[in-house]
Copies of this chain bind each other. A is one copy, B any other.
Amino acid sequence: MPALIKTRMRDAFIVAVTERMAADPSLIFLSADFGSPKLDILAQRFPERFINVGIAEQNLINVAAGLALEGHAVVAYAIAPFLTMRCYEQVRVNLCLLSQVRPMNVTLAGVGAGYSYDVSGPTHQALEDLSIMRVLPNLGVYSPADSATARVLAQQLLPETGIRYLRMDGKELPDVAEAPTVAELRQGFRFLRRGQGVTLVATGYMVHKALEAADLLAQQQGVQAAVIDIMALSPLDGQALGAALAGCPAVLSLEEGFVGKGGLDAALREILWPVAGQTRFKGLGLPHHYRFDIGGRDSLLAAVGLGPEQIAGQAVALLAP
Which residues on A are within 8 Å of B, measured CB to CB?
A: 81-82, 85-86, 88-89, 92-93, 96-97, 100-101, 122-123, 128, 131-132, 134-138, 258, 260-263, 265-266, 269-270, 273, 276-277, 281, 283, 288-290, 292
Query: With the chains together, A93 CA to B123 CA distance in Å?
Result: 7
| A267 nearest in chain B by CB position | B260
- Asked if A290 contacts B137 (CB within 8 A), the reply is yes
- Asked if A89 contacts B86 (CB within 8 A), the reply is yes
Question: Given A89-B82, A92-B85: A128 and B123 within 8 A (CB)?
Answer: no
Query: With the chains together, A136 CA to B261 CA distance in Å?
Result: 9
> What DSSP secondary structure best describes chain A's contact surface?
helix
Query: Contact partner of A132 among B93, B132, B265, CB < 8 A?
Result: B132
- Asked if A289 contacts B138 (CB within 8 A), the reply is yes
Q: Which residues of the other chain, B, contact A135 by a CB distance below 8 angstroms?
A: 128, 131-132, 258, 261-262
| A283 nearest in chain B by CB position | B270
| A261 nearest in chain B by CB position | B135
Query: With the chains together, A144 CA to B122 CA distance in Å?
Result: 31
New contact pairs (20) apart from A85-B88, A88-B89, CB-CB < 8 Å: A82-B89, A85-B89, A88-B132, A97-B123, A100-B290, A100-B292, A128-B136, A131-B132, A132-B132, A134-B262, A135-B258, A137-B258, A262-B262, A262-B263, A262-B266, A266-B270, A269-B269, A273-B281, A276-B276, A276-B277
- Asked if A137 contacts B289 (CB within 8 A), the reply is yes
Query: With the chains together, A69 CA to B9 CA distance in Å?
Result: 40
| A282 nearest in chain B by CB position | B273
- Asked if B273 contacts A134 (CB within 8 A), the reply is no
| A92 nearest in chain B by CB position | B85
A91 to chain B, nearest CB (A): 9
Q: Which residues of the other chain, B, contact A263 by a CB distance below 8 angstroms?
A: 262
Query: With the chains together, A165 CA to B216 CA distance in Å?
Result: 43
